[in-house]
Structure 1
Amino acid sequence: MTLDLLASTISFAGDDNHLNPVKLFLDADIVVQAIMAGLVLASVWVWMIIVTFIVRMGAISRRCDEYEEGFWEAQNFDTYQKERKRGDVPMGKVAGAGLGEFKRNVGPGIDAEGARQRIATILNSSVGEEADKLSDRLNFLATVGSVAPFVGLFGTVWGIMKSFFDIGQQQNSSLAVVAPGISEALFATAIGLFAAIPAVIAYNRFSHKVNGFEARLQRFADHLHAALTRQLEQR
């Protein structure tokens, strides 16, 4: 009932010469309707991920800028780490992992070269872990971008098959009989592309941002590793 009301509302003041998306959905076969509904839900989820990622990435970048500026100005890295509530700051977590491993390798008789390797391993592992957290939901964008057009195409094929079946049942091959069913079927492909195009664009753009941020974390880790190994040599 609600969809019927919506279809009549979008009827462009009673002009039937325009396509009505809601009416196309309501008149489609149940299989095509299910495919359309699934693609619409996927599209909504894609846009939620896009908006969430943009907001989250902006906040993380600002917090990392503030953290890094204060970190290199601090007289003592460990004191700065303890005094600052780093929260969800990837750079702070990388620094915490490196400083923790540094403390475990301080003492008499410690193999300096082994300590350097262990600190480097911990830092690299922490950088990879933070990058994986940022790119966690991007896999869904890649999946929708690659699968949605084919799902929509399946709905189109199914709808066209049904249209030809109706031709056989009615013994009438006029365009007036076939056209509505084909229009409804093609609408499934349109929805699939509507879901896939922003997903592909967002995935490529966000993957580039994550790679750039991972490179930034790696540079920070390299500088921290150099600073910590210098301290090892002085002990």
Structure 2
Amino acid sequence: MGMFLSADPVVKAVMILLAAASVATWTVLLVKVVSLGLAKRRMRRSLDQLRQADSLGGALERVRSGLALRLLVETEDERALSRGLSREGIKERVAIALERIEVSTSKRMAVGTGILATIGSVGPFVGLFGTVWGIMGSFIGIANANTTNLAVVAPGIAEALLATGIGLVAAIPAVVIYNALTRSITGYRVMIGDAVALIMRHLSRELDRRDIGGGPGLRLAAE
């Protein structure tokens, strides 16, 4: 703390910025761990319910909430709107609708990871800027004091190097957390893909049986 208080104002600003970036990193981690954990748990339960169902109607009776319900309702609505049309056309339109939901959900889950990537890549350079600026100030102080005494040089250089140290402290966890969250989000996307595949299997089976039932009010009923 003493090194921070005695540092150059520019170096202080760099340290404060890096400290704020570190706080942002751990905040994103906390929020994403909670949101991804809940989303994965709901999706696992929904996948089990989809596997146990023998039809889309049975799946709607079992799945009562979450993303899987949204996918089922979208499927039933499209099937109702396409009543009397070709089976391949229905499958294609349902696949497009589910794909858009899958993409939008994945994008929403990835919100915040860009901050981690930025901190991980830029943090060390911001810290290095603070170090360079601090060392420049130290050299100017040496020139003004007309001495190379270590007692005069060392404090300024140490304060400057502290900025690089804080930059690394902010950047290294950001990179590790970014990689971990990316893997977790990828796993969640795989689960969404499994849910879409199960729904498409139910739809294909029912269309092959020419059981093209369902009503346009299913969305309101499910909601």
TM-score in terms of structure 2 length: 0.87
Q: 2:14 aligns with which of 32, 35, 44?
A: 35
Q: 1:198 aligns with which of 159, 164, 173?
A: 173
Look up the match of 1:4. none
* C-alpha contact 2:7 2:160 (8 A) present in aligned 1: yes
SS at match of 2:199: helix
Look up the match of 1:154. 129
State the alpha-carbon separation in 2 of the partners of residues 227 and 74 from structure 1: 9
1:7-26 equivalences in 2 (<5 Å): 22-26=1-5
How many residue pairs are counted as aligned between the two chains?
A: 210
* C-alpha contact 2:131 2:163 (8 A) present in aligned 1: yes
State the alpha-carbon separation in 1 of the partners of residues 11 and 121 from structure 2: 19
CA RMSD in angstroms comes to 1.8
State the alpha-carbon separation in 1 of the partners of residues 199 and 35 from structure 2: 25
**1:14-36 deviation digits (Å, cap 9, x = unpaired):** xxxxxxxx111101100010110
* C-alpha contact 2:51 2:198 (8 A) present in aligned 1: no
State the alpha-carbon separation in 2 of the partners of residues 224 and 37 from structure 1: 50
Look up the match of 1:127. 102
**1:63-120 deviation digits (Å, cap 9, x = unpaired):** 222222223334553465378541xx23333333333322222x22x02222211111
Q: 1:59 aligns with which of 32, 38, 41?
A: 38
Cα distance, 1:215–1:58 mapped onto 2, change above 3 Å: same
Q: Choose between structure 1 and 2 for higher RCO, CA contacts under 8 A separated by at least 6 residues.
A: 2
Look up the match of 1:7. none
Look up the match of 2:214. none
State the alpha-carbon separation in 1 of the partners of residues 73 and 148 from structure 2: 73
State the alpha-carbon separation in 2 of the partners of residues 231 and 64 from structure 1: 23
Check if 1:95 corresponds to 2:72.
yes
Check if 1:220 corresponds to 2:195.
yes
Look up the match of 1:172. 147
Cα distance, 1:225–1:85 mapped onto 2, change above 3 Å: closer
Cα distance, 1:84–1:225 mapped onto 2, change above 3 Å: closer
* C-alpha contact 1:97 1:126 (8 A) present in aligned 2: no
Give the drift of 1:217.
0.9
* C-alpha contact 2:53 2:62 (8 A) present in aligned 1: no
**1:135-192 deviation digits (Å, cap 9, x = unpaired):** 1111111111101111011000100011011111111122211111111111011111
SS at match of 1:136: coil
State the alpha-carbon separation in 1 of the partners of residues 144 and 71 from structure 2: 68
Give the drift of 1:223.
2.0
State the alpha-carbon separation in 2 of the partners of residues 97 and 149 from structure 1: 46
Q: Match for 1:197: what amino acid?
A: I
Q: Match for 2:155: what amino acid?
A: P
